[in-house]
Structures are given as structure tokens and as C-alpha cells.
Chains A and B, each alone.
Chain A
């Protein structure tokens, strides 16, 4: 993504300059951003309270963590929080706002148009082991392998959540720190890949999802990372009444995931953090997107997290809403 011809270091410097000013002046007391993780292909959340902390700030191709998830808790401690938002962080912010999980006035949003984050697994498959073997040149990755140099489109290496992202530019911000990017896909056609992979009969769907969900560990990473999961006490851990056994059998796994995804129907912002967080790689984003697609077919075009004034279809009632179960 051509970003004003800024490379990532320059972009990071520009971001750092903007937020440093606000942190030092006391306009914000905490900045949520990213810092380098243990590996070059990882960036982890940064909770910056000082100029010294901000020296660790980075904006690179691995800032995948959706930071908005941290806002409700941080706002219970901090007076005014600044946060760097990509497209998905911004929609997550709207999700939380609409769910009355935070106070708009106490958050300062710094918008960052997102070029999409890279998936190390795909890079490793292409033979990239060290950071030096991979150079980003605009829309291309230059990869050094034993055999020489290879140029591949950057989009070949995006995390699935980024490959499927229909709004990489933040939909809400107080200040846009980098120039807007080009849209990667038309939101209206965002379910095309699902149509190509339709499983027409309930038996096929059951077989497919049984296969995927039987390996679920019940670690609840998908729930913990989700900006739409806002129950104070999840049904999965409620003791009285007990809805769900603690075992890791297919029955429990399926019940958990069905309820989780139905709670998100029409509210899920399709950020794909559930799938990225899943340690055993269950394609949870597809599950959520299937429901989002159903919602659109039943209630008309709707993208969650775009407009905080547009209530989710299942939280409103219109006389013309379909009343019957669709025959499928």
C-alpha cells in the first residue's frame, strides 16, 4: 500500500511524534499501541504511560492484535486513553460503544489505515526464516531464498482476517495519522468465497464442523479476544444453572461455539481475532461470517461496527422482518 511514500520506520516516527505530544501534555494518560514481540514476526500490545515507553512503539506488518478489547478495563483505571486503531480496531470500538462498554469522550482514537498484517506461517512456508530475508517494497514482498530472489504480491501472505477485511481504513478516529489506503475489496461482495464453499446439506455442514470443532480445547481464547463478547459472566462458566459441561467432548464444544457465534450474529465485526487467537486453528471466522451472511440475506445489507447509530438487526424489530424460519 503506497502510504505517502513513507516507509514503516518513518510512519512509526510520525505516529510516535503525534502521540508523544498528547501523552506529555496530559491529554491522554495511557496510549494503547504495539511494540515488538519476542520474534520479528510478532508485535504485541504496548501500554505506554511515558515517553520512555513510547520509544518501544512500532507500526509494522505484524500489529494484528485488536487493541480495542483492552479499552473497557483500561478505562476503569485511566482517565483518558489514547488508542491506535486500524480498520478492525475501529469497528471493534464501535461495537463496544454500541454495547455501552465505554465512554466515547474518554477515548482518543488515532487512525491508521491498515495495509493488512502478515501471517508468519505463510512466510515460513515460502522459505522465510529471518527478517532479513523479507523486504517489503510497496505491494510486493521481496523474498531471499537459497535459490535467489523472489517477488511475490504482499497479499499472498496476509492473515486470513486481513485477506477478508472489507474496511482496512479506520471507520472512526479523532485524528488520522497516515494517508488513507486503497480498498482491498467491495464490501457487497465480501461473502463470495463462502458461496464457493457452500455445503448444501445439514449433514455435510454437521460433518464439516464436527471435524473442526472436535479439536477445540475449551481454552476460550476466541471468547476472550472477541470485542463482541461482553457478558460479565459467560454462560459457559456459569455454575448455577450449569449450561455447559466442562469436558472437552464434541457435544460441549459444539454447544459452546453455536451459542458463542449466535450471540455475535449481526454484532460480529468480522475482525477475525477469534480465528487468529485459536491455538488449534479452527476456522472460526468462517462460522461468524456465515451468520453475517444469513443476517444480510434475512434483514438486508448490514455491516456491524460501521455506524454506532445503526442498531444490529437482531436488536431491533420491524413489522416487515421475516417471521418464518427460512427453508434451506
Chain B
């Protein structure tokens, strides 16, 4: 059954959903858009495609503490940190965000043992996917078989219709979200049983030969050209929905502190810097190659799928316009 809510009443819906726990929504921060816990009056933007930083940060935050440590004399005590409230809702994820989560799931969730921090956030968060009414010029998710109007792995699918949102539960958790909204929701309008079909462009790319053809291309001269303009910043990796590298650090001093993890980027020199000073990826060339081979070869060889969702964030945000489309083209993946 399709339910419907007027756009003007969304604020009331957010109020209800946020009673359960943190409600993550795309919030405007200056010209940027990120998934953040909603609070009264927060600048929600459910129209712009896509958020500047991907929705991965709901599940793999920029930084996250494991535990606190305390030392008294020779005694060392580890104290688990207070867990965040359960029953979070992530609202407004796009189909490409969901595909990105699938990729992270394989790395953090579907392992033995799974990653506890990730698993907890994943299991405690209900996901409301929002269909894209119109793709952005950067979008090319159709290349990866993603339907921007139908997200896999969501509990609830939402789509714009007239002056409001249609809502369709996909799981029991989705049903529960709908029933919690009670009388705020009306019966869906006739003729709006499904989100309208949307397709993105694909920049003329083809994926045949990926990843198999890349094994022999590690020393291809094409990398020599591609890395030249790269500045060596980590913008692409931090906004990317499928980049998941992190680092561990301690914050504090000998007596007291906490151990946390935070995002890390293979574009940084010290990412592979070893004790003693050796660096197996000494220049930007090796680092650029690694980033893109991880997407196009290493991840697919291990998990069976190219680690790109076509979300277009690296196309939009790279300050020198070096992005995965350019790389796939340079590697010959362009249909002529």
C-alpha cells in the first residue's frame, strides 16, 4: 500500500521519526550537503542530487571511538564507550548510496568476525530511500545497472509526487516506520503506485574488459599521464561512497585517552609510509593507480563487482577534474 505525505508536513514526520533515535537527513551546510542528525529547524534538502559527502558517513563516520583507556600505576583499564541510541533512521538515501552500502557491507559486515561498530550502526538503522526525480549532470549510475528510482536494500522507498512524497514499505521495519507516522500519512494518490522510471547517461563508457584486462596494465604508460594533474589531496576518497580505508589512533596521554578510528586516504603520502621511511607507493603515480585499480580491479576480483556506483561525486568535486570517467576512458573503456 502506498502512503502519501504533503511536503509541507514533512517537518512533522521528522519530529516523529526522531523520537526513536537519531534521524539522519541531508542537511545543507553552506553550499555543501551532508547526512547529519536532524534537529528542529535544520535545513533539510531532499531535492538536490547527490549529497556532497556520500551517505557512508552514517555507517562509517569520519571518526569513531572504540574505547577509553585509563591507567593508574601499573593498572590499565579499558572502558567501552557509551553506545549511541539505537533505532536510528537514515532518510533520503539515493539508490547509489544504497549500492555503496552494499559494497561496504562486504568489507565490514559479511566478514567473520564482522566489524562490530559498523554492524551495530547498520543493524540499528532503518533506511528510507528517495528516488531521484531528475539525475544530476554528474550522474551515471545506470552504467552500473542501478535504477535511480528503485533502491536495493532499503526499508522504505520514497518518491516525489506532486506536492509531496509517496512512501512504500519494503520491509517490516519500513511498515513500522509508516505506522509510527499514524495520521500524518494519507492514502497514496491514484496512478502513483510506482516511482517513475529514470535513467542517467553513461558518458559513453563501457565496462567490458574490466577488471580482467587490467591485470596486464599495471605498468601501462597511461598511468604516467593520468597522475600528472592530481594534486594529491584526499577529496575524492572522502566523498566517495565506496572508499572505506581508515586509520587507528590514540587521543590522549599516558594516563587517560581514547582509541578511535578515522577515515584515511590512499592519496596521502603517509598512507603507506612504513617505519624506517620506506614507502611502497612513493609518488602520486602509484597512489593514483592504486585508487583506481582498487575500484576497477582489486575490489571486483575479490567481491565480484566494480567499486563504483556512478554517483558522480568525484566528477563534481575534484578541483582539477580528474575522475573515474576520465580514467575508464583512458584505459580504453569508451564505446565508439
Contact = CB atoms under 8 A, between A and B. Distances in A.
B1 interface: no
Interface in B202-244: 203, 225, 228-229, 231-235, 237-239
A47 B229 contact: yes
A56 to B, nearest CB: 12
B52 interface: yes
A44 B320 contact: yes
Interface string A233-244: 000010100000
B62 interface: yes
B249 A224 contact: no
B269 A217 contact: no
A280 B53 contact: yes
A218 B233 CA distance: 9
Given A65-B319, A129-B137, A277 B269 contact: no
Given A215-B29, A249-B63, A282-B30, A44 B233 contact: no
B29 A248 contact: no
A38 interface: yes
Given A248-B63, A280-B52, A219 B247 contact: no
B326 interface: yes
Interface string A69-95: 110000000000000000000000000
Contact of A237 (B63, B237, B269): B269
Contacts of A276: 319
Contact of A277 (B29, B228, B231, B260): B231
* Interface size bracket, A side: 35 or more
B126 interface: no
A39 interface: yes
Nearest to A69: B231
B50 interface: no
Contact of B251 (A37, A65, A70, A245): A245
Nearest to A222: B233
Contact of A221 (B30, B31, B62, B233): B233
B234 A220 contact: yes
A78 to B, nearest CB: 11
Contact of B34 (A43, A65, A215): A215
B322 interface: yes
Contacts of B273: 239
Interface string A274-291: 001101111100000000
Contact of B249 (A129, A246, A283): A246
Interface in A201-227: 212, 215, 217-221, 223-225
A219 B63 contact: no
B321 interface: yes
Given A38-B203, A247-B260, A225 B319 contact: yes
A184 interface: no
B249 A245 contact: yes
A253 B31 CA distance: 18
Interface of B: 29-32, 34, 52-53, 62-63, 137, 203, 225, 228-229, 231-235, 237-239, 247, 249, 251, 260, 262-265, 268-270, 273, 315, 317, 319-323, 325-326
Interface of A: 37-39, 42-45, 47, 65, 69-70, 121, 129, 212, 215, 217-221, 223-225, 237, 239, 245-249, 273, 276-277, 279-283
